[in-house]
Structure 1
Amino acid sequence: MRLRTALLSMGSMAALPSLAMASTITGPYIDVAGGYDYTQNQTVDGLHSKPGKPQGQSHGHEHLRMGDGWTGYGAVGWGFGNGLRAEVEGTYAMTYADHGSGHGWQQSMGQWNGRHGMKGSAQSYGGFVNVLYDIDLAQFGLNGMPFTPFVGIGAGYLFQDYHIHAKNNNGGPNNVFMHQGGSGSFAGQAIVGAAWDTPITGLAVTTQYRFVAQTGSHTGVSMGHYRAGGNPARHNNIVNVGERYSHRFMLGLRYAFDNAPPPPPPAHVVVPPAPQAARTYLVFFDWNSARLTQRAKEIVAQAAQASTHVQTTRIECNGYTDNSQAPGPRGVAYNNKLSVRRAESVKAALIADGVPANIIDIHGYGESHPLVPTGPNTREPQNRRVEIILR
């Protein structure tokens, strides 16, 4: 029942809304937490060392039924930025023993056989070295989740300290006491939890469960009996304390010192493509002339240079005139010949600028295909032209 209640409480804390996106840690951090401890029942075996008794003779064992308790820890650690963390932890737990059964202590004291009740406390304290991993949920397609789950394991050394008093429930006058201090053994733990960020950068609220397993210990204790109203008679006995298994449910705070939010990604800069060389050039002529002006020669030179930078297999030189010549068939024929002469002038200039003659084709279209529509017998400078087209 106590275990189920703790699990429900843990789930309620994990359901609290988060104010910011949790993240993995880079750099140093500190971590503190506290909460409920439930320790499973534990066994204690007595080996008598009283004078007149065989050394190491076993006298049975007790079952300690542990009650509710509390626990806490403090840790310092380092996050490697890839989800992994390592930390050193100091921990403490206090659990209350509320019942015991068995015959070991009574027999070892030589007082009586029978069951008895027990009251007292059992402490566990020491340290762990932990390795943890923060799970980035985005890698599973869960973007925008308000928490970062983590898992981990730890290994360390814990001390056990017992202060137990057992009362004879069979009506006899004798009581038994046990005091054990400073007995230690190896321990390990498994960790699972989640970190929820707060509005304060680097500060997170943690909810977690830890299973702590401590191996048994072989130790000397102060153990004895006394009659009601009398002074205790102490004996130095050897006691084997069995394994200790604890379930810990904790709420805590974690602060990362070097956990500033990452800088925003640089703005995407669109680099315009390099300007491409034109594939069509226009060369204009004076009225009734096929001679290239200085400006016309410059344009022809640009076309010749462009033919070496863009893929060119053929160059067309198409000549045109306006319709300002004499009307009738003679005027049309004249303009046709004039447009051819203009195309030939441009071809000659291209060849002079290094363009192979065998890739140049010339055409004369006279006054057809005007660039600017006009009325009859109109002098229009833009219609007196040669179009250079790079194919």
Structure 2
Amino acid sequence: MSLRKILLAATVLALPVAANAQPISGLYVGAGVGANLRQNSDATLSNNMLGPRGGTAEFKYGFVGTLSLGYGFGNGVRAEIEGSYRNNDVDKVSGFGLPSNNRTLGSVTTYGVMANALYDIDLGPTIPLTPYVGVGAGYQWVDNDIRGNVGVPGTVSLNGTDGRFAYQAIAGIAFNVAEIPGLAVTTEYRFMGTLDNEVGARRDFSAPGKAELDNFNHSLMIGLRYAFGVTPPPPVVAPAPPPAAAPAVARTYLVFFDFDRADLTDRA
């Protein structure tokens, strides 16, 4: 999935939203999908491996998906637990003394649990979007299956699953859906990394050994978030018009004169 397609999808999803932004107070759930770019991974083979021991694995764009359960404190601060999954196919393996046009196969899958702390940036009650930032820490398992120079003597393989401490940074924007209070469309960028993974390594004609691989990921995602217990704001009631002035009441007067005189009497 290309970056252009992801941005286009996020724009289309955001078109029907126009609700006032409200801070989340209480439980919410969220989900997101998108493209994951895993940075080139530098690998170092252990000393018992024959031949050059340093190399690099390059990866194609892959997939990322997340599910989260969180709680908003009503002041912009949120805390959540997140499960995530990332997968990238291997594009190229270089170094290790391999030819530049060697055939490569394999993929890398990263999955685990993160605890995140986030802060919603209030832009005012009339603006229907809310930027947010966050950080997270947790534990991720990395399943490596990387093979270079496949089918030729001197094949290098790096494989195995290893769990390590993980950390991430988050930046996103939530667009509130007017028709469904509590529902928001989200767009996010995430950087997620782990401590170096230790996996099994093998070169033809040598004993099995170990290798260390770094793991850094850049993710661009779109998703949905639903906050429970959000009620729509009360409708704005127009002020009542002022009461109309009472119509004038016609009055009748009697005027008294003395006989054959034009002077008003005291009674008149």
- Normalising by structure 1, what TM-score? 0.55
Larger-Rg structure:
1
Aligned to 1:192: 171
Inter-partner Cα distance in structure 1 for 2:24 and 2:265: 83
Inter-partner Cα distance in structure 2 for 1:174 and 1:102: 12
* Percentage identity across paired residues of the two chains: 35
Inter-partner Cα distance in structure 2 for 1:9 and 1:377: 94
Q: Cα RMSD between the aligned structures?
A: 3.1
Aligned to 2:38: 39
**Is 1:12 aligned with 2:11?**
yes
Aligned to 2:223: 252
Which amino acid in 2 is paired with 1:158? Q
Aligned to 1:321: none
Shift of 1:71: 0.4
- Alpha carbons of 1:220 and 1:145: their partners in 2 closer, same or farther (altered >3 Å)? closer
Aligned to 2:82: 89
**Is 1:166 aligned with 2:148?**
yes
Inter-partner Cα distance in structure 2 for 1:255 and 1:66: 34
Which has the higher relative contact order, 1 or 2, with Cα contacts under 8 A spaced 6 or more apart? 2
**Is 1:240 aligned with 2:233?**
no
Which of 67, 73, 78 is the equivalent residue of 2:66? 73
Inter-partner Cα distance in structure 1 for 2:173 and 2:199: 41
| Equivalent residues in 2 for 1:1-391, closer than 5 Å | 5=4, 8-9=7-8, 12-13=11-12, 16-49=15-48, 59-103=52-96, 114-115=99-100, 116-138=102-124, 144-167=126-149, 173-181=153-161, 183-198=162-177, 199-217=179-197, 219-221=198-200, 223-225=202-204, 235-242=207-214, 244-262=215-233
Inter-partner Cα distance in structure 2 for 1:12 and 1:267: 34
The answer to whether the 8 Å contact 1:47/1:59 transfers is no
Inter-partner Cα distance in structure 2 for 1:188 and 1:31: 19
- Alpha carbons of 1:32 and 1:8: their partners in 2 closer, same or farther (altered >3 Å)? closer
The answer to whether the 8 Å contact 1:165/1:176 transfers is yes
Which amino acid in 2 is paired with 1:30? V
Shift of 1:11: 6.3
- Normalising by structure 2, what TM-score? 0.77
- Alpha carbons of 1:13 and 1:41: their partners in 2 closer, same or farther (altered >3 Å)? farther
Unaligned 5+ segments in structure 1 are: 107-112, 226-232, 269-373, 381-391
Return the structure number with greater strand share: 2
- Alpha carbons of 1:377 and 1:68: their partners in 2 closer, same or farther (altered >3 Å)? closer
Aligned to 1:362: none
Which amino acid in 1 is paired with 2:43? V
Q: Give CA-to-partner distance per residue, 1:255-274, whole Å, 9 cap, x none.
A: 11222235579999xxxxxx
Inter-partner Cα distance in structure 1 for 2:207 and 2:237: 76
Inter-partner Cα distance in structure 2 for 1:205 and 1:129: 21
Which amino acid in 2 is paired with 1:152? G
Which amino acid in 1 is paired with 2:34? G
- Alpha carbons of 1:260 and 1:177: their partners in 2 closer, same or farther (altered >3 Å)? same
- Alpha carbons of 1:234 and 1:87: their partners in 2 closer, same or farther (altered >3 Å)? farther
Inter-partner Cα distance in structure 2 for 1:266 and 1:16: 27
**Partner secondary structure for residue 53 of structure 2:** strand
What count of residue pairs does the alignment treat as equivalent? 242
